Amino acid sequence: MTGARVRLARRRICRRPYRSREQGSRDWRMLPCVIAVWSALLIEHTAFGGIIADSSPDVTSVTGATSMAWHVIGLVLPAGIALMAMIALLMIVRRNRRHCNRRGHRNRRHRHRRRRIRRRFAVPYRHGIVIVAAMACACVSGSADDLVRSADPIARTVADGGGDAVVIGMATAPMTTAALRDADCQTDVRVQGVAVDRIRSPSSITVRVYASGRSCIFRQGAVYRISGTLRQPRFGEASAWLIVDDGAGAAGPRASEIREPAWWRRAGTAMQESFIRVTRSLPDHAQVLVPGLTLGVLGQDTVMTPWTTSMRSSDAADTYAAAAADVDEGYAQRLEDDFKQAGIMHLMAVSGSHFVLVAMLVRRVCARFLIPRWATSVGIVGAYAMLAVLVYPSDSVLRAAIMGMGGVACLLVGRRAQALSGLNWTVIFTLLIEPSMARSYGFALSCTAVYGLVLCGDVVTRFLRGFMPRPVADTMAVTVAAQIFALPVQVMMTPQLPVLAVPANMIVAPFVAFSTIAGLLSLCVSWAIPPLGSAFAWAACLGTLPLERCATLIGGSRFSAMPWREGVTGAVVVALAELIVPLTIMAVRALARSVIHETLRRPAHGYNHSARDDADDGTPYRARYMERAGAWWRETRAMLFERDVGDVQH
């Protein structure tokens, strides 16, 4: 009888319309849009690749395929817009007709049922319209981007088999050590114009430049004229490679700077380089890890530009310039491999945690001095801008910066920021404005990690708090929740399962925030007061020692990574496995609960139920493992360490 009443109450709650059960603080409205936009971009890119590949592989017909694609887009696009307009019109017309038809029907019950059906389908209908609009916008944006890329002269030259070219473009990334064996440095250049066979044409894609020797003069933000050889990339996400040789021959310098970077960019580069110089005086592991934790680039990958080295070499008494020795290559490579095996390599990339730390710092300082809200938000915007300029650029930095700006906007207006809502809009805007981000692994990893944290963090925390002490449960919940959606993407990148990633992350979690803050402080002061910067860098070095130990221990062991299937199939298998585990847990718990209820209820048949009717609403209290363990510990402690016999409670 009691069970029936509980079931009736639950059914009453469930029968309430969904709209009145919605919580405003969990805003999931744009989530279907995000999924629609991202999948539409991926499908469009695959389809575009298919269209281009279907046409004959002859070079001259790349233009033919491009014009054919233009015709397809030219037909599909207006048709799509017309379809959308029609559907919107239908939606409006139907609503008006519903108002007008109130008197025209004979059968009132029939009319009520139709109205109820129409109302029940109105909400998914509207949502469907928005999803269709989002997919259409994504398709248009993606196809326009793909078309421009495929019609680019550099893309055509590369498809031709490569060739010599003179490229004018802006360096968008600082110089780092080259991944190619026969080059010294690499950078990314956003091309403005290219001259192939003395034919000059505008261009807009980003090429990866590999240079060596005296041609390694690239500064972030400067415009260069580079002459080299265009090649098809063998790996990586760039659309073309430009190989620049040494320039030691009679041909003269192969890369020359046309325009200086902006003043803030120059200042940022100078601050980065003085920080890296400071870290060169630390022990080996800190030379590699402290720049990684702070700037997002490992110590052995940094390359100094000639400007700061020439500035420094004139100052012979400057010990920091003299100590700028190179990092031990072999050791650094082994350490990097250990980090990847252990599954903690994500710490070496700048992510939202940097921005969150900086924002928290600024907020605390402003709260201490009772600074008004608008000034705090201006301060946070300034701090974000500085951070974005100082760290090495990457897609996860872009995501974190945009999301952070959204949060600052909420602070300015005075509303509470919602992480999921901000993330949804960040992803939608980024993907619509830059459709190639849909295929970027850095962006995907960053977004999926935050989605996992936001969507599943609470559930996992509640579940784990039943088994282990609160701080341990919270740390583990963060790790597990972040990995939930990011693991399939990671498996697509490297076909390996990081089995020991969760314990590794839990071991290093307490030290990361402290090291990051110390590193950022060192970055801020090293250009002005090198000894103070060195002191902060030593603090960061102490924080990175546990990281190094953990990576060597866990990453070096044989069980740290399990080989897995490659590609999309591997990712799908991982996703299915992740789905099955919580379902199994829930099924086992439900089974156990029903068994226990059955065994408990059997002796209770003779009771008078009427007196206990209303007392049985809600779920019965069940002590969790942690609570039972805590009670046992308290009693044991009282029993063993009692001071007075009267203290023990029986």
Partner 1 sequence: MDGASPSVMLGMLAGVAVDDGGADDLLEQRSARDRPRLALEPRHATIIILILVLALSLSLTLLVQQGVRLSSMSWDEGATRASDAPSASPPASSSSPGPTSSESSSAPSDTGSPNEPSATPSPTPTTTSTLIDLNTATAEQLQTIKGIGPVTAQRIIDHRAEIGRYTSVDQLLDVTGIGAKTLEKIRPYVEVRS
Footprint of partner 1 on this chain (CB under 8 A)? 13, 16, 18-24, 26-30, 33, 63, 67, 70, 74, 91, 95, 123, 126-127, 129-130, 133-134, 137, 140-141, 144-145, 147-148, 151, 153, 166, 168, 192-193, 195, 197-204, 225, 252-253, 256, 258, 428-429, 432-435, 611, 613-615, 617
Instruction: Name 433's Cβ contacts closer than 8 Å, sequence gap at least 6.
Output: 141
Name the minimum Å distance from CB 130 to partner 1: 5
SS3 225: strand
Closer to partner 1 by CB, 148 or 270: give it.
148
d(CA 460, CA 467): 11
Strand (E) or helix (H) holding 186: strand 185-196
For the bound state, the minimum distance from the C-beta of residue 429 to partner 1, rounded and expressed in Å, comes to 5
Residue closer to partner 1, measured from CB, 129 or 502: 129
Tell me the closest approach of the beta carbon of residue 424 to partner 1, in angstroms: 11
Least spacing, CB of residue 425 vs partner 1, in Å:
9
Q: Which is nearer to partner 1, 198 or 415 (CB)?
A: 198
In angstroms, give the least distance from the CB of 12 to partner 1. 9
Q: How far is the CB of 490 from partner 1 (least distance, A)?
A: 27
- Residue 555: CB minimum distance to partner 1, A: 38
Q: Which is nearer to partner 1, 157 or 287 (CB)?
A: 157
Instruction: Check residue 645 and report its DSSP letter.
Output: G
Token pair recorded at residue 398: 């872009």
Closest CA to 492 of 550, 546, 570, 596: 570
Min. distance of Cβ 637 from partner 1 in angstroms?
A: 36
Q: CA-CA distance, 336 to 569, in Å (whole number)? A: 27
Task: Name the residue with tokens 């192939």.
Answer: 196
Quote the least distance from Cβ 401 to partner 1, whole Å: 17
Show the tokens assigned to 211: 């240079």
Angle, CA 470 vertex, CA 468 and CA 471 arms, to 5°: 110
Asked if residue 242 lies in contact with residue 209, where contact means CB atoms within 8 angstroms, the answer is yes
Nearer to partner 1, 140 or 271 (CB): 140
Residue 327 near residue 321, CB atoms below 8 Å: no
| Identity of the residue, 613 or 647, whose beta carbon is nearer to partner 1 in the bound complex | 613
Nearer to partner 1, 45 or 277 (CB): 45
Residue pair 276/299 in contact by the 8 Å Cβ criterion: yes
Q: Which is nearer to partner 1, 68 or 180 (CB)?
A: 68
How far is it, in rounded angstroms, from Cα 598 to Cα 141? 59
Cβ closest to partner 1, residue 29 vs residue 624: 29
Q: Min. distance of Cβ 96 from partner 1 in angstroms? A: 12
Q: Which is nearer to partner 1, 453 or 547 (CB)?
A: 453
- CB-neighbour burial class of residue 214 (10 A; exposed 0-12, middle 13-18, buried 19+): middle
Kind and range of the H or E element at 201? strand 199-202
Nearer to partner 1, 203 or 220 (CB): 203
Would you say 100 or 615 has its CB closer to partner 1?
Answer: 615
The dihedral region occupied by 567, where left means phi > 0, alpha psi between -120 and 50, and beta the remainder, is left
Q: How far, in Å, are 90, 138, 372 from residue 429 at the CA level?
A: 28, 10, 30
**DSSP code, position 252:** -
Using only C-alpha atoms, the chain has a radius of gyration, in whole angstroms, of 31
Contact (CB, 8 A) for 534 and 278: yes
CB of 37 to partner 1, least distance (A): 9
Q: Minimum Å distance from CB 143 to partner 1?
A: 11
* Contact yes or no for 37/437 (Cβ under 8 A): no
Residue type, 14: C
Residue 158 near residue 232, CB atoms below 8 Å: yes
Closer residue to partner 1, CB minimum distance, 114 or 225: 225
Q: Which residue has the tokens 């003269």?
A: 252
What Å distances lie between residue 31 and 17, 18, 422, 455, 481, CA to CA?
21, 17, 11, 11, 18
Nearest distance from residue 142's CB to partner 1, in Å? 9
Q: Report d(CA 180, CA 410) in Å as an integer.
A: 45
Residue 68 or 147 with smaller CB distance to partner 1 = 147
What's the closest the beta carbon of residue 101 comes to partner 1, in angstroms?
Answer: 19
At closest approach, how far in Å is the CB of 238 from partner 1?
18
Task: Decide: helix, strand or coil at residue 216.
Answer: coil
Which amino acid belongs to residue 117?
I
In the bound state with partner 1, the residue whose beta carbon lies nearer, of 419 and 572, is: 419
Alpha carbon distances (Å) from 157 to 62, 150, 160, 201 = 11, 11, 5, 12
The minimum distance between CB 510 and partner 1, in angstroms, equals 32
CA atoms within 13 A on the CB side of 132: 15
Exposure class string for 292-307: b at 16+ Cβ within 10 A, else e: bbbbbbbbbbbbbbeb
Which residue, 133 or 417, has its beta carbon nearer to partner 1?
133
346-383 exposure pattern, b = at least 16 Cβ within 10 A, e = fewer: bbbbbbbebbebbbebbbeebeeeeeeeeebbbbbbeb
